[in-house]
Amino acid sequence: MGTDLQRLAEQHAADPSPANREAVVLAAVPLVRALVGRLSIPDHPLVTREDLENVGLMGLLQALDSYDPSRGTPFASYAYGRIRGALVDYLRSIDALPRERRRKLAELQQALESLRQLLGGEPEDQDVADYLGISLNEYYALLSDAQCRYALSLQDTLNDEGEQAVLETIPNEEAEQAFETIDRKSLIEYVASLIKKLPEREQNILALYYYENLTLREIAQLMGLTEARISQILGKTLVMLRTHIQRIHPRVA
């Protein structure tokens, strides 16, 4: 797809005709669907997979209209950032998470950090639930909320071109080469060091979700766990990463 899409995007840049525009869109549909497939879709009347694919296509068209091949950025990378940004903005615009639930997520984040310092390691699920004064099922529901919400916020891009997201700094030589400034390299190294400290299971789930583009259901099948449990594990991991990244990169909200 990459070579054909690049050729078609360059052809459109030279001659932005309706026919060339349609050709790019048709070639890029798999990219849009792949990005939508990575999202944990919330239970909301305005959010169906078809809705999100339409939003992603709008982001694709915005990328196509502003793409300049002379800058040297591959169109797939450029469009990826614009499509993801459109999806994130749309989901945030209809975020129906009640204020009380948001407060609970903030308390969860603080509880996990406090217990890590107190225990000198990763707290058990029951420890966190007891600390918050809630049942284990309520705690798991919060982790699912965190997975849906923070998986998006941690995909915020680190530059104006929309080419690199925070969690795409999981140790990877190509990812590191994508950054040119010392600050960005420092962030890569910091996130990589955090991830290396995670248990192997959590590292595998992050890699499958963010690099292999697998859905929660597919990861659950591979790891012999339920989809709900994968969501909980990913939610807890994202809360931890988000807490640490916020200290050095306030843009992650």
* Long-range Cβ contact pairs of 130-138 (< 8 A, separation 24 or more): 132/104, 132/107, 132/108
Matching residue, tokens 């990589």 = 192
Backbone angles phi, psi at 165, to 5 degrees: -105, 160
d(CA 206, CA 214): 10
d(CA 230, CA 139): 14
The tokens for 195 are 């991830």
Residues written for the chain: 253
pLDDT in tens, the chain (253 residues): 556 889 999 999 999 998 999 999 999 998 888 888 777 666 565 567 888 888 999 999 999 999 999 988 889 888 888 888 888 778 777 665 567 777 888 888 888 888 888 888 888 899 999 999 999 999 988 888 787 666 655 554 444 444 444 444 444 334 334 333 334 556 566 677 778 888 889 888 888 887 776 778 888 999 999 988 998 898 888 888 877 776 655 444 4
Give the contacts of 209 (CB within 8 A, at least 6 positions apart).
38, 151, 216, 219, 234
The domains of the chain, with CATH numbers, are 2-93 (1.10.1740.10), 99-248 (1.20.140)
SS3 state at 178? coil
